[in-house]
Amino acid sequence: MSRLQVVSGKGGTGKTTVAAALALALAEEGKRTLLVEVEGRQGIAQLFETEALPYEERKIAVAPGGGEVYALAIDPELALLDYLQMFYKLGSAGRALRKLGAIDFATTIAPGVRDVLLTGKACEAVRRKDRNGRFVYDYVVMDAPPTGRITRFLNVNDEVAGLAKIGPIHNQAQAVMRVLKSPETAVHLVTLLEEMPVQETADGIAELRAARLPVGRVIVNMVRPQVLDADALELVATVPRSSVARALSSAGLGGARRGGHAERLVEPLLAQAAEYAERYALETEQRAVLADLDVPLHELPLLAEGMDLAGLYALARQLREQDVS
Amino acid sequence: MSRRPEPAGTQDPARHHLSPTRTLDIDPLIEDPDTRIVVCCGSGGVGKTTTAAALGLRAAERGRKVVVLTIDPARRLAQSMGIDSLDNTPRRVKGIDDSAGGELHAMMLDMKRTFDEIVEAHADAERAAAILGNPFYQSLSAGFAGTQEYMAMEKLGQLRSRDEWDLIVVDTPPSRSALDFLDAPKRLGSFLDGKLIRVLLAPAKVGGRAGMKFLNVGMSMMTGALGKVLGGQLLRDVQTFVAAMDSMFGGFRTRADATYKLLQAPGTAFLVVAAPERDALREAAYFVERLAAEDMPLAGLVLNRVHGSGADRLSAERALAAAENLEDPRIVDQEDGKAGLRNSPDTYDSSESPAASDVPDGGSPATTDVDSPDGNTAPDADSDAGAERPVERLTAGLLRLHAERMRLLSREQRTRDRFLALHPEVAVTEVAALPGDVHDLTGLRDIGDRLAADRPELPVTP
């Protein structure tokens, strides 16, 4: 099991939710995980129903069995100052750089620096050991940028190592790439059973593979329950309206005669079924595309009542049952 | 969020919605000759690009000369508009109804090319070559975080200044904060105004400009520190780059400011795009607040993928109880069915609140467990009855499907009502969900119709 679990996915697929559920799942049985947020959106705090996370590792949840989930929202600017202090002991020069706007420049405009800091911080957490030489975190789960940017994001250190051919940045970049390209890392992609996210997932996997980054699993999120099976769908097209009306009526929904309450339900209900059939066919198609990707597939259900803390634990349980963690 | 009190006996399903104080009228907006720019923004995955394309098509078919600037369209959508090649030039879209005299052009943003073009336009050939060949520039222009936002705004400025189009519809990049494109011109400006750039330029300007002298004291320390962090060779690349760009910076700055002002101008309208989901609407709310803070003109909210039902007077609970009735007649006292028949005229449309819905006593909706994550459906559990009574089994399935739809509906309404309670000033238009993706002009036209419909269209489906 890789110790750095990177979770990406197209916008709107629920990658933050899946990352959080994965962190919870991995924390079961007394393990300690760190959930890292890199996009400054405070999605983790909202999910765990806590106040905004500072740039500080703090415990946000306890998993069944006594495991712990820590969370960290990485602020690139603070991470850079941290880093300068730690590695260069810049002291007053560091402060002067900040005054000059260099820090702002580095974290917002300079190519790649921001991404280097984010991946660097996550890798640092992966490698960190306590006094007894044990890893501080059993797993680090990163809520990463979306699929369209993930390869570039993870590969940024390669690029930086190419730009800075020698020197401390070069060395740091190389060290990060060693973690990211090793089996220590797994990059998971979250998708929905819809055409665009599935297409992006396929493209994302191809890009990751081309960059020799380790592809983990594909997690299909918000899978809707199957309500009508193939037989029922076939019947939808041919069933006499009147017999559906009679069935509705016998179930207590009003009169089956023309204009009766049950009768008036028939058309809208069948229309919904036709829509369902169309969606079902599209989903079947997309499942086939995903199956061709040659990556382990997992499915998480759509939660009928929307996402909340209880739902998050339910998803974590599902991930455990599917041996994702 | 509590519902509004409703008069008893209300039967209009539309009343179940918290009506927005303002409805967003798309047609007057896109037809108004004074509207020159429409910016679609919102978080990723809410249908921003499709909305931008649909608006562009609709405006064109109503007689305007339109260009749609997309950032990263889905392949098939791009193909449907004939812009599957990424060449940074607006292409005329064929197959639109041009009887009103309009035209539709579309283009896909090529970041690097846009950046290169700026360099080429603002530097002499030799200097341009030096910049384009600089490794630091190559990485910067090829799309690190932020560049896309700058270039999208730059391209918008270019298109606008050419003044060839009546209307420019812009799709914004799927930014991590969704707001980067607003900050981009400002940030660039503040960087260009900053002292850092002077420090970086220092070695190239020994002797210094007037007014730069005060920096010289700390200069060597500064470049020393930068060199330490960046490594000597990278620092030299950065310095060469900055020196080469120096002559263009004035131009950059002016353009960034002009673009920012353009976004605030009366001819610009922002549309925030969202789906009726918590996260998307939270981002939308943030956007609304941010646009107000920046004095950017917000036209309204486009709420995509809203679900409806032609049978929305039948509550989820009632539908589930009826489905149970059909699936397992053994546990149901037959009177229940008859009771339903007797009461039929008003059993299910008298109330919209789940708690108050008067399910006949035998139905016991509380026992229905459709919440289970695996969504186990009773037809399988009771295949005996199903096999013998296919219509009953199908009907039960239809009712379960309906229950699921009604749940979704009420969840969407809750999310939406919450947004509207916090932002009653925002005009809203709702677009009904489609079962599949859109990838042709007919689909875009259909979305356009839905965008312009003046009230939420509850899909009675084709």
Q: How far is B314 from chain A (nearest CA, A)?
A: 9
pLDDT tens-place string over residues A19-48? 999 999 999 888 999 999 998 778 899 899
Domain boundary among B306, B327, B353: B306
Q: How far is A226 from chain B (nearest CA, A)?
A: 7
Q: Are the CB atoms for A100 and B196 separated by under 8 Å?
A: yes
Domain that holds residue B163: 18-196+251-306
Treating both helix axes as pointing N-terminal to C-terminal, what angle do B390-422 and B278-293 enclose, rounded to 10 degrees?
20
* pTM for the model: 0.80
Number of domains in chain B: 2
Residues A253 and A170 both lie in one domain: no
Using alpha carbons, list the distances in angstroms from residue A138 to A3, A33, A45, A144: 7, 6, 21, 19
Is position A60 within any domain? yes
Is position B13 within any domain? no
Chain A residues with CB-CB distance to B346 below 8 A: none
CATH number of the domain bearing residue A11: 3.40.50.300
Residues A314 and A246 both lie in one domain: no
Q: How many CB atoms sit inside 10 A of residue B210's CB?
A: 5
A273 vs B399: CB contact, 8 Å cut-off? Answer: no
Is position B216 within any domain? no
The minimal CB distance from A306 to the residues B336, B411, B461 is found for: B411
Chain B residues with CB-CB distance to A100 below 8 A: 194-196, 199, 222
Residues B260 and B394 both lie in one domain: no
Q: Where are the alpha helices (DSSP H) in chain A?
A: 15-26, 43-47, 76-88, 92-100, 102-104, 113-127, 147-163, 168-180, 195-210, 230-238, 241-250, 261-291, 309-321
Beta bridge partners of A143: A7, A37
Is position B236 within any domain? no
Token pair of A32, please?
């300690």
Number of domains in chain A: 2
The minimal CB distance from B177 to the residues A40, A152, A168 is found for: A40
Is position A285 within any domain? no
Residues B160 and B289 both lie in one domain: yes
Is position A293 within any domain? no
Residue with tokens 């918008």: B156
A168 vs B231: CB contact, 8 Å cut-off? Answer: yes
Residues B279 and B341 both lie in one domain: no
Chain B residues with CB-CB distance to A301 below 8 A: 373-375
At residue B367, what are phi and psi to the nearest 5 degrees? Answer: -80, -10
Instruction: Encode chain B (462 residues) as per-residue pLDDT tens digits.
Output: 444 444 443 344 444 455 556 889 999 999 999 999 999 998 888 889 899 999 999 999 999 999 999 877 777 678 777 776 656 889 899 999 999 999 999 998 887 888 888 888 878 888 888 888 887 777 767 655 566 777 888 888 889 989 999 999 998 876 655 566 677 666 666 666 666 666 666 654 444 444 444 444 455 666 666 666 666 677 777 777 777 766 666 666 677 778 888 899 999 999 999 999 888 898 899 899 999 998 999 999 999 999 999 999 999 999 999 999 998 766 544 444 444 444 444 444 433 334 433 444 444 444 444 444 444 444 444 444 445 688 999 999 999 999 999 999 999 999 999 999 999 999 999 999 887 778 889 999 999 999 998 554 444 333
Is position B433 within any domain? no
State the count of interchain CB pairs (< 8 A) between A and B. 285
Is position A197 within any domain? yes
Residues B363 and B273 both lie in one domain: no
- Tell me the C-alpha distance between B358 and B217, whole Å: 83
Beta bridge partners of A37: A73, A143
- Tell me the C-alpha distance between B449 and A186, whole Å: 44
B228 vs A90: CB contact, 8 Å cut-off? Answer: yes
E strand intervals along B277-348 = 298-306
Q: How many CB atoms sit inside 10 A of residue A78's CB?
A: 16
Torsion B425-B30-B276-B78 (CA) sign: negative
Q: Are the CB atoms for B67 and B165 separated by under 8 Å?
A: yes
Is position B203 within any domain? no
Q: How far is A249 from chain B (nearest CA, A)?
A: 7
Query: Considering only A42-56, A237-251, B84-98, which range has the smallest mean pLDDT?
Result: B84-98
Domain boundary among B410, B430, B454: B410
CATH number of the domain bearing residue B82: 3.40.50.300
Residues A218 and A238 both lie in one domain: no
Supply the mean pLDDT for chain A. 88
Is position A256 within any domain? yes
Is position B174 within any domain? yes
Residues A143 and A14 both lie in one domain: yes
Domain that holds residue A256: 230-277
Residues A143 and A246 both lie in one domain: no
Residues A150 and A198 both lie in one domain: yes
Is position A187 within any domain? yes
Contacts of B66 (CB under 8 A, 6+ apart): B56, B59, B60, B102, B103, B104, B105, B165, B166, B167, B168, B169
Residues A24 and A101 both lie in one domain: yes
Is position A131 within any domain? yes
The minimal CB distance from A275 to the residues B377, B407, B435 is found for: B435
Residues A105 and A197 both lie in one domain: yes
CA-wise closest residue to B2 among B402, B290, B355, B390 = B355
A273 vs B390: CB contact, 8 Å cut-off? Answer: no
Token pair of B460, please?
């009675």
Distance of CA B96 to the CA centre of its chain: 24
The minimal CB distance from B437 to the residues A194, A236, A269 is found for: A194
CA closest to A299 among chain B residues = B374
- ipTM (interface predicted TM): 0.85
B43 vs A272: CB contact, 8 Å cut-off? Answer: no
- Tell me the C-alpha distance between B19 and B40, whole Å: 23
Chain A residues with CB-CB distance to B385 below 8 A: none
Amino acid making up residue A134:
R
